A and B are shown apart, each in its own frame.
Chain A
Amino acid sequence: MNEIVLEAASLEKSFGGRGLLPWGKGKRSLQAVRGVDLQVRKGETLGIVGESGCGKSTLARMLVGLSEPTGGRVALSGRDVAEMRRNARSELRRKVQFVFQDPLSSLNPRKTVRQILEAPLDNLLRMPRDRRRERVAELMQLVNLRPEFVDRHPHEFSGGQSQRIGIARALAAEPKVMVLDEPVSALDVSVQAQILNLLGDLKQRLGLTYVFISHDLAVVEHLCDTVAVMYLGNVVEHAPAEEIFRSPRHPYTHALLQSVPTLGRRSDPDALSEGELPNPAAPPPGCAFAPRCPRARDDCRQARPPLERMADGHLAACYYPLAREAGKDASQA
């Protein structure tokens, strides 16, 4: 197995509840990420899936050092990211880069593509001006954009083209690891396919490691080697992609897979009880999934189930996991 390049340990993030004044401190805070452990190995693509508000983007931003954890730590090749953020910020940015969800709002409307792409070359790599020009042209080629577009402004591009620019911006720093937060969710299916193929191609050519965040299970299955499923700020299941799609062990993963409308198969809304999504500011005690879980029993509501090894490389956080292969029908459409 390859070495671990990016690692999260007991990672937590809460928002609010830390007022300046003493009486502000009592305010209820929202814990968006509640103790996540993850390891990303060199050259792999880790998929992170989950529904809206489960903490995917918050986690992603901590992984690249765009925001500071309120607990736990992130390590990049063994080095603490929080420490790098303070003392070696440009080294951090050179090693791990980020691709944003919204291709339009991630590009400054007042800058040209050249200015956007030159910023990392100048600030992070300290590249001289003439070399920058060359490199920008190379980057444009790398993401299949015509070099003469380089003096245009973002509004002149379609969503797919803008996302190519966003990818080129991230690649400019020559990172080892790329964290991609829903990079194709805002795109139409035909354009989404172009970008997915581009990402696969770039990974091969440049030997990148990806953390790929998405709510679309089919896209994750298509692209990822391992998959972590998040629910309400926790990783509830983590396994090799093949394994998780063939034989999910956590009832939530199973329900997700059953809910996806797929050609030629009816989805099964009964894989979930009709319970409401819990309020993230007031998560239920014990297993956060219990109110919607058809398998829940009383003891599920007492203490939070830990992420435990189910089989080789397969982790799940559930007291009553599904039997192996039970979800087989789910993936054989």
Chain B
Amino acid sequence: MTAIAQRASGRRRRSGRPGIWARLSRNHLAVVGLGIVAGMCVLALMTPLLPLADPNATDLAARLKRPFTDGHLLGTDQLGRDMLSRILWGARVSIAVGAVATIVAATIGSLIGIVAGFYGRWLDNTLMRGVDMLMAFPYMLLALAIVAALGPGLLNALFAIAIVNIPFFARSVRGVTISLVRLEYVDAARMSGLGNGRILFSEILPNVVPVIVVTMSTTLGWMILETAGLSFLGLGAQPPQADLGSMLGDGRKLAITAPHVATIPGLVILVLVIGINLLGDGIRDVLDPRLKSGALSRPRAMTEVAPAAMSQPERSAHSNAALALDRLSTEFRIGHDVYHATRDISFQVAPGECVGIVGESGSGKSVTAMSVLGLVPTPPGLIAGGQVVYQEENLLAAPLPRLQQVRGGQIAYVFQDPLTTLNPLYTVGDQIAETVERHQGLSRRDAWQRAVELMESVHIPDAAGRARAYPHELSGGMRQRIVIAMALANDPDVIIADEPTTALDVTIQAQVLKLLDELRRKHNAALVFITHDFGVVSEICDHVQVMYAGEVVESGRVQDVFERPLHPYTRRLMSCIPQLGRGRNPIAAIPGLPPAVNDLPPGCPFAPRCDVATAACTPRPISLAPHGEGREVRCIRPGESPA
């Protein structure tokens, strides 16, 4: 058992996912924003120390001096006060008011959100209805009303701005809190004896903080703008105190005679708010979990293919196969690491035949399937070598239009989760009809008719009625039938099904398996069936490929492989699965974990867990070798058991 511990945690996060600062600094606009904000803040902080004129000292003799006049770098205003000094003092006030308002709004709003989200029920109802009422008023109008009620003044403007911004915090914080409360670790904390108060502070709050920070960084700019707005209207800073908004307001009347009086504070507000927003967006991108791990970079329409994988197949090499994979290798390049997700995968499927690909998660089953039609996301995916031969053509070398013609046409996919294939906004009938229309150019009515026929062919009761249903109105099993109907729409030669029944209950799984089996025989389609379940393989497949750490370790006729597994991995995997009907038979676990595919040993990747490994297993790669009729195995001691 200690072997498990020794394999420790092969997941080195740091290599793949750089830290917060590194990611922020990659976003050039955010860096510009950071520069502006930092510069402004330093200036604001240092203002009292700078050798500036008194911002409120009037000198009517020197009024409305243009910028760059002696002693007044930015000129003077209508009362002869030094503009530079007023701008700096004013920016100081504006930033301070904006920041304080943000903190007040964030504190109150987050408190409301976290309490509402955590306690739910009537407390949630009451608090959130109150917040909704705040939001029901036009934003600026509400602020005006609050200042009108409290009386003009900078402090009251601050309160008004803070209050109108509370809903933004309350809502987003409530949202995350609700999703966190549902997580099992909150229940786990309850089971560990923590009370509500401690759960709020030690389990929920730390995970909510990023959301609060993001909301703060994206609203600060607005709040400064709003404060300026109130001051501009004379409701914020009162004379003679300078803030950017009141300066703008003062200058407005002089826009023609002395444009600099209004232009300079206007420019400062503009630059400041842009800087804050750029920085805020950068922070959001870095902290928002949904945008993490490169989800920002949209993948291309097809996987990048290395030149090595572009060669054309030799004629008649795979003459009777519907689809043939030949030494297919796909990798992912993340940071400095190369993940060899699949290596050297070769197999073929004949029409009407079913080939199973079986293995544990991460063994490369899905990547194999998706490589066939270039569906592996790039970046980071790259098809590094091999061929996918369909009708004497290497699909890896095919241009995108050709691939799109084949996708959903002659080669169709069925995925584990039908909701990834179905669009929630259209009826299922529409979606099947659309597939038919696109590939066969039928009229709308004929296509709809065909859609209903297809739904009947997958045994959907009341197909004509169900065609008008939306995906969410159907059960999981029905949805998967719809996806199968879509896959059949254009009479495909090959169906690739990736764990199509894994999300279904066993009784439904049995029905869907029967359906797939019936269809491939009726339509003489080749079926590539991916699963982690040996029972399912034995149920539906003729041949099987067993995968481990990105390689096929053994292949052959299903019955042969299961009756007499040759590779130690297959043998041990089969003996660690509880089998129905075997009572309380002990199961023998395989110690350890599969290797990380970015750090593979030179020899057999199964060697550290293998009970018949020898010194010859580790120095160099083991090749897949024929072994008896129709079987292949990647092991130098096939079929051997420990003494």
What is A's interface to B at a CB cutoff of 8 Å?
A: 20, 51-52, 61, 64, 66, 89-90, 93, 97-98, 100-102, 105-110, 116, 119-120, 122-124, 144-146, 149, 152, 155-158, 160-161, 166, 169-170, 172-173, 188-194, 196-197, 215-219, 221-223, 241-242, 245, 255-264, 266-269, 272, 274, 276-277, 292, 330-333
In the complex, are the beta carbons of A218 and B192 less than 8 A apart?
Answer: no
- Are B4 and A196 within 8 A (Cβ)? no
Closest A residue to B569 by beta carbon equals A190
**Residue-wise interface mask of B (185-208) relative to A, using a CB-CB cutoff of 8 A (1 in contact, 0 not):** 101111111100000000100110
Q: What residues on A are CB-neighbors of B584 within 8 Å?
A: 221-223, 241
Which residue on chain A has the smallest CB distance to residue B198? A123
A100 contacts B194, CB within 8 Å?
A: no
Q: Are B532 and A188 in contact (CB under 8 A)?
A: yes
Q: Which residues of A contact B576 (CB under 8 A)?
A: 189-190, 192-193
Are A193 and B184 in contact (CB-based, < 8 A)?
no
> How many Å lie between the Cα of A171 and that of B303 in the bound state?
47
Kindly identify which residue among B192, B536, B577, B593 contacts A189, using a CB–CB cutoff of 8 Å: B577
Q: Which of A66, A110, A155 contacts B187 (CB 8 A)?
A: A66
User: Is the beta-carbon distance between B4 and A217 smaller than 8 angstroms?
Assistant: no
Interface assignment of B587: CB less than 8 Å from any CB of chain A: yes
Q: Is the CB of B583 within 8 A of A242?
A: yes
CB contacts (< 8 Å) of B461 on chain A: these are: 274, 276
| Residue of chain A at shortest CB distance from B586 | A197
Residues of A within 8 A of B459 (CB): 274
Question: B9–A269 contact, CB under 8 A?
Answer: no
| B interface, CB within 8 angstroms of A | 1-2, 4-6, 8-11, 13, 121-122, 125, 183-185, 187-194, 203, 206-207, 360-361, 459, 461, 475, 477-478, 505-511, 513-514, 532-536, 538-539, 562, 572-574, 576-591, 593
Q: A51-B506, A106-B184 are in contact. List 4 more A-B contacts (CB 8 A).
A: A100-B188, A107-B185, A222-B585, A261-B538
Bound-state CA distance A100–B190 (Å) is 12
CA distance A222 to B590 in the complex (A): 17
A97–B514 Cα distance when bound, in Å, is 41
Which chain A residues lie closer than 8 Å to B206 at the CB level? Answer: 110
In the bound complex, do residue A169 and residue B188 qualify as a contact, i.e. CB atoms below 8 Å apart? yes
Contacting pair A256 B475 (CB below 8 A): no
Q: Among A51, A257, A266, A268, which residue has its beta carbon within 8 angstroms of that of B580?
A: A257
Are A119 and B193 in touch, CB under 8 angstroms?
A: yes
Minimal Cβ-Cβ distance residue in A for B501 = A261
User: Is the CB–CB distance between A170 and B562 below 8 Å?
Assistant: no
Known: A93-B193, A98-B191, A108-B185. A269 touches B585 (CB 8 A): no
Rounded to whole Å, the gap between the CB of A25 and the closest CB of chain B is: 14
Assess the B192–A110 pair: CB atoms within 8 A.
no
From B8, B125, B461, B536, name the one whose CB has the most chain A CB atoms within 10 angstroms: B8
Shortest CB–CB separation between residue A54 and chain B, in angstroms? 9
A110 engages B578 (CB within 8 Å): no
The reply to whether B1 and A66 form a contact with Cβ atoms under 8 Å apart is no
Residues of A within 8 A of B207 (CB): 108-110
Do A98 and B9 have beta carbons less than 8 Å apart? Answer: no
Q: Which of B5, B6, B581, B583 neighbours the largest number of chain A CB atoms within 10 Å of its CB?
A: B581
B420 → chain A, closest Cβ, in Å? 18
B511 touches A120 (CB 8 A): no
Assess the A66–B4 pair: CB atoms within 8 A: no
Closest to A121 in B: B192
Given contacts A105-B184, A144-B5, A222-B584, contact A194 B507 (CB under 8 A): no
B535 touches A263 (CB 8 A): yes
Q: Which residues of B contact A267 (CB under 8 A)?
A: 510, 513, 539
| Closest CB in chain B relative to A146 CB, distance in Å | 4
Closest to A261 in B: B535
Q: Give Cα A268–Cα B511 distance, bound, in whole angstroms.
A: 9
A66 partner, pick from B122, B191, B573, beta carbons under 8 A: B191
Q: Which residue of A lies closest to B204 (CB)?
A: A108
| Given known A156-B9, A222-B585, contact A261–B590 (CB-CB < 8 A) | no
Inter-chain contact A157/B9, CB cutoff 8 Å? yes
B589 contacts A197, C-beta separation under 8 Å = yes
Query: How far in angstroms is the closest Cβ of chain A from B285?
Result: 20
Q: For residue B513, give the distance in angstroms from its CB to the closest CB of chain A.
A: 7
Residues of B within 8 A of A193 (CB): 576-578, 587-590
Q: Tell me, in angstroms, the Cα distance from A333 to B582 when the chains sit together.
A: 8
**Minimum-distance CB pairs A-B, first 8:** A123-B193, A261-B535, A193-B576, A222-B578, A106-B184, A146-B5, A193-B589, A51-B505
Inter-chain contact A194/B8, CB cutoff 8 Å: no
Q: Which residues of B are found within 8 Å of A222, using beta-carbon distances?
A: 578, 582-585, 587
* B360: A residues at CB distance < 8 A: 188-190
Roughly how many angstroms separate A157 CA and B190 CA in the complex, as a whole number? 23
Do the beta carbons of B510 and A218 come within 8 Å of each other?
Answer: no
> Do the beta carbons of B535 and A93 come within 8 Å of each other?
no
State A64–B184 Cα separation when bound (angstroms).
Answer: 14
Do residues B203 and A108 form an inter-chain contact, with CB atoms below 8 A?
yes
Most buried by B among A145, A223, A262: A262
B residues within 8 A CB of A215?
A: 505-506
Q: Does B475 contact A156, Cβ atoms closer than 8 Å?
A: no
Q: In the complex, are the beta carbons of A221 and B514 less than 8 A apart? A: no
The answer to whether A160 and B4 have CB atoms under 8 Å apart is yes
Residues of A within 8 A of B11 (CB): 155-156, 158
Closest to A257 in B: B580
Q: Choose among A20, A97, A190, A218 the residue that contacts B121 (Cβ–Cβ < 8 A).
A: A20
